[in-house]
A and B are shown apart, each in its own frame.
Chain A
């Protein structure tokens, strides 16, 4: 009963967040005080954590259709942003908006991915799934196709396969055979069909299933394995590192041999053998309430309700905006978790003016030069500080 109540209240909270968040976009062109790089502990043979600055924020004033930005995806020289009122594309310094009038299934665009194979853009909306190819929109919905449900919270391209996390289960679309598969509690070890996130790596698909932890699907064997919080506690992580920190998962991402799992109660990583939990009280995580995660190589970016965090498991950089103005700070911690056997447990703060547009962060993507962040108060772009 407690689980159900918890789940329902969170579902409502998410719905409210997605649909009615107020925007507070602040643009500040003041230069930031910079430092060079943030190094991790010298004993660790890993690359230094990237730090981003020179933030530029984009809102309706700059051409976004709406300040409620749900997702962002870098696609070569252009950037695709899902907003509450359509998809905005940033190219050559200009924003162009696509809506249902252009063929978008729904103006609420909550997830975007790009097929590395074909360049096709796959768009998850609150009213179906789009393939956007060479300017043409094709719509898949629950009435005209095998898409499980029109609430497409996450879409992920894995080679020729397109995976979706929807309100009616996870969907797998094979672009070669054009056939759909649906995975729900009927045929997969899920708690219920509601799924929030999906990603792939190492020949496996990782589905963030609401109340069901992480569902791992091995594409070769077509076998499922589920990872849930073994302690069964919904309020606290009773036994640390025994599995995912919570069964209510919001996202998964795979990078550099690590699976990262976000929940509304903290972050987990899994190396195939061991789980490790991260919370706001024992790491550099901005908040335990995590909306989305995306790994780019060894670094994972964590979108929370109190800012954007990033970590490689050994150190942290968290970006937070001040409540009073558009300035903010990058908070740097040179340890992965407080109980790690590291030397430097200090926290450093790097002032940034401006910083991210809003602390409620929902989407993120990065390339070699830029970090793009989708927030409830607009879209932010940070430059990699050399």
Chain B
């Protein structure tokens, strides 16, 4: 009796288990299929639910804090390296001979660049997420002062007499001039769009500041990106050169004789339907060369090869003898070595027509690129020893500095900076994000169109069933884990789907990510891309009077005449905090004749000030234009009753929106709907 009862229980539990197993498995299969938009992704709960946690114990358990070296400088005697550890918010003092980190100096948030004074006594570190520069006494290895700057300080340069510090404000698009005697900002110039690099000419008379984003222009016009030229003697802008068909001009270097300036750049083909990836029809990479003489020419030379692309050129340095230039390509983990005499020879022997054609000539690089040197993951900043014999490379996603002999052009060593030894899933995802290895002929990677994991400000003509239709304004990837669906047309319900099969079909034109890599990439995108603080418009959460009035306009239910605004035409209805999207599709009468008939995904609005142009096809150059030029029918919110003051208040409020994390708002965990 007792045995039979036990058997009955076992049978019952077995049947129950089988039922749960089969029905549960079926549910799990359906769920995973929905999430990944595939039919064969392994049923591994951990791959999704473990590594996509954005906070809490599990997040801390499966993630590590890396150093992420970004830029670096070498002391004149070559005995010290000063390495900006971006994710560690520090400057590392390194002995390159002993290959040892000697000191760690805490600086501001997300440090970007470091520069040393001529006497070698001080270092200046720009803190991109703190809007200041740390002044470091190198003898004591202590921060002795903090200099306020514009928004997003990045590149740095000292004036010829060492009395002024030029700071490139990358977010607010300015150049701050800081008097180092007083520590005060003396003046602030307007610069190109999203500037970064700064370099003083050898004669100390001219400062070049490069820009990353192109100037805002209507779709169809050739893109242009500004090179801002400062007359250092009188501290005035001398020239604003528009460099055609180029953007992401990260850094610049002058030859020692000062006859040429060489700027890293990308040439995007965003105006061409992205139906053909080969032969440089999406992106090409190279140098913009500017002759330093009256009426000096602007020449663009590619660093790519016919069947191999060298994506995401970042830094450039030139040896003291002026013979070689080294360019880091963070997308392909490579350093290109350019023979500068060969460049000079090519330029001098070429007709203007030939020079013009070189900007699209994938084979020309064989005339001057003399070596490709492999590096670790994501090479960024470069620094030469003062004698030019050693090149140091900051391998951002390797937490390592590699050392290259500039004569033999071989890697002669590496310096581990002490970051975590293991590569977490999200870290691996970031490496994939930054690497073009998963694109046809290494043409581009996620980072190329989403620099800083944001967006590049361009409008693309993506491949679709009809060419020339459905123009797409690149969207930011910052903190998008909780804001599905994805794409302007909302077709992708999850990041998995966004980066899965479709990604390889439409964009990379090669094998799709394997599921392990797809899981890693997704984990990184969902968990690892925070918003920068909104220091320009909302530094501390306290809104200005204008922003408060704008908030009231944003949340209003009645118009200026007392009429009730229909619920679906109120700002707050579709743009619901904390991400200011209700995750739904909407029609705001912005459909263009070139668009298929569709609704558009309601975009999130945090840090929206940093994402011009606006609307799905980028037609609005500013936030104001969304309503003054393109919202005249009151379909994108009730707006036409507003006075100019009220519209200004509303725009001021929109610019104040920032990531919920800065307001300690706990967001809902990501759950894709099934």
Which of B183-191, B279-287, B594-602 participates in binding chain A? Answer: B183-191
Which of B235-243, B324-332, B402-410, B417-425 participates in binding chain A? Answer: B235-243
| Chain A residues within 8 Å of B187, by CB | 117-118, 160
Q: What's the nearest-Cβ distance from chain A to residue B672, in Å?
A: 38
Q: Are B150 and A176 in contact (CB under 8 A)?
A: yes
- Flag whether B229 is at the interface (Cβ < 8 A): yes
| Chain B residues within 8 Å of A117, by CB | 187-188
Cα distance A180–B240 in the bound complex, in angstroms:
25
Q: Are B648 and A182 in contact (CB under 8 A)?
A: yes
Q: Are B628 and A143 in contact (CB under 8 A)?
A: yes
Q: Are B172 and A182 in contact (CB under 8 A)?
A: no
| Chain B residues within 8 Å of A186, by CB | 643, 645
- Flag whether A35 is at the interface (Cβ < 8 A): no
Q: Are B188 and A160 in contact (CB under 8 A)?
A: yes
Cα distance A177–B652 in the bound complex, in angstroms:
11
Given A142-B628, A168-B644, A182-B645, residue A175 in contact with residue B651 (CB < 8 A)? no
Q: What's the nearest-Cβ distance from chain A to residue B310, in Å?
A: 32
Partner among B189, B239, B628 whose Cβ is within 8 Å of the Cβ of A135: B239
| Chain B residues within 8 Å of A118, by CB | 187-190, 236-237
Q: What's the nearest-Cβ distance from chain A to residue B36, in Å?
A: 43
Which of A145-153, A238-246, A301-309 participates in binding chain B? Answer: A145-153
Cα distance A119–B628 in the bound complex, in angstroms:
31
- Flag whether A125 is at the interface (Cβ < 8 A): no
| Chain A residues within 8 Å of B644, by CB | 142, 146, 148-149, 168-169, 182
| Chain B residues within 8 Å of A168, by CB | 644
Q: Are A119 and B237 in contact (CB under 8 A)?
A: yes
Which of B19-27, B312-320, B458-466, B619-627 participates in binding chain A? Answer: B619-627
- Flag whether B98 is at the interface (Cβ < 8 A): no
**DSSP class of B's interface residues: helix, strand, loop or mixed?**
mixed
Cα distance A182–B651 in the bound complex, in angstroms:
13
| Chain B residues within 8 Å of A178, by CB | 172, 536
Mask, A129-154, CB within 8 Å of B = 1, is: 00101111010001111101100000
| Chain B residues within 8 Å of A249, by CB | none
Cα distance A178–B150 in the bound complex, in angstroms:
11
Q: What's the nearest-Cβ distance from chain A to residue B624, in Å?
A: 6
Q: What's the nearest-Cβ distance from chain A to residue B9, in Å?
A: 73
- Flag whether B546 is at the interface (Cβ < 8 A): yes
Cα distance A181–B549 in the bound complex, in angstroms:
13
Q: What's the nearest-Cβ distance from chain A to residue B609, in Å?
A: 9
Mask, B154-188, CB within 8 Å of A = 1, is: 00000000000000000010100000000000011
Q: Are A143 and B629 in contact (CB under 8 A)?
A: yes
| Chain A residues within 8 Å of B236, by CB | 118-119, 134
Q: Are B240 and A134 in contact (CB under 8 A)?
A: yes
Q: What's the nearest-Cβ distance from chain A to residue B435, in Å?
A: 36
Q: Are A134 and B237 in contact (CB under 8 A)?
A: yes
Mask, B238-275, CB within 8 Å of A = 1, is: 11101000000000000000000000000000000000
- Flag whether A269 is at the interface (Cβ < 8 A): no
Most B Cβ at <10 Å: residue of A117, A148, A149, A160: A117
Mask, A170-185, CB within 8 Å of B = 1, is: 0000011111111010
Given A143-B625, A144-B624, A145-B624, residue A181 in contact with residue B546 (CB < 8 A)? yes
Cα distance A138–B629 in the bound complex, in angstroms:
18
Those of A86-134 within 8 Å (CB) of chain B: 117-120, 131, 133-134
Q: Are B188 and A184 in contact (CB under 8 A)?
A: no
Cα distance A177–B151 in the bound complex, in angstroms:
9
Cα distance A104–B237 in the bound complex, in angstroms:
19
The residue on A at minimum CB distance from B648 is A146
Cα distance A118–B238 in the bound complex, in angstroms:
11
Cα distance A23–B335 in the bound complex, in angstroms:
66
Mask, B616-647, CB within 8 Å of A = 1, is: 00000110110011000000000000011100
Mask, B219-230, CB within 8 Å of A = 1, is: 000000010110
| Chain A residues within 8 Å of B188, by CB | 117-118, 160, 175-176
| Chain B residues within 8 Å of A177, by CB | 536-537
Given A145-B624, A179-B652, residue A133 in contact with residue B237 (CB < 8 A)? yes
Q: What's the nearest-Cβ distance from chain B to residue A93, in Å?
A: 21
Q: Are B651 and A144 in contact (CB under 8 A)?
A: no
Q: Are A131 and B645 in contact (CB under 8 A)?
A: no
Partner among A131, A144, A179, A181 whose Cβ is within 8 Å of the Cβ of B628: A144
Cα distance A176–B171 in the bound complex, in angstroms:
12
Interface CB pairs A-B, < 8 A, 24: A118-B187, A118-B236, A118-B237, A119-B237, A131-B190, A133-B189, A133-B240, A134-B236, A134-B237, A134-B240, A136-B240, A143-B624, A143-B629, A144-B625, A144-B628, A149-B644, A169-B645, A175-B188, A176-B150, A176-B174, A177-B536, A178-B536, A181-B546, A182-B648
The interface of chain A, by Cβ under 8 A from chain B, is 117-120, 131, 133-136, 138, 142-146, 148-149, 160, 168-169, 175-182, 184, 186-187
Instruction: List 11 other contacts, CB 8 Å, given A134-B240, A143-B624, A144-B624.
Output: A117-B187, A118-B189, A118-B237, A120-B190, A131-B190, A133-B237, A143-B628, A146-B651, A149-B644, A160-B187, A181-B546
The 7 A-B residue pairs whose C-beta atoms are closest, nearest first, are: A143-B628, A134-B237, A119-B236, A136-B240, A117-B187, A146-B648, A134-B240
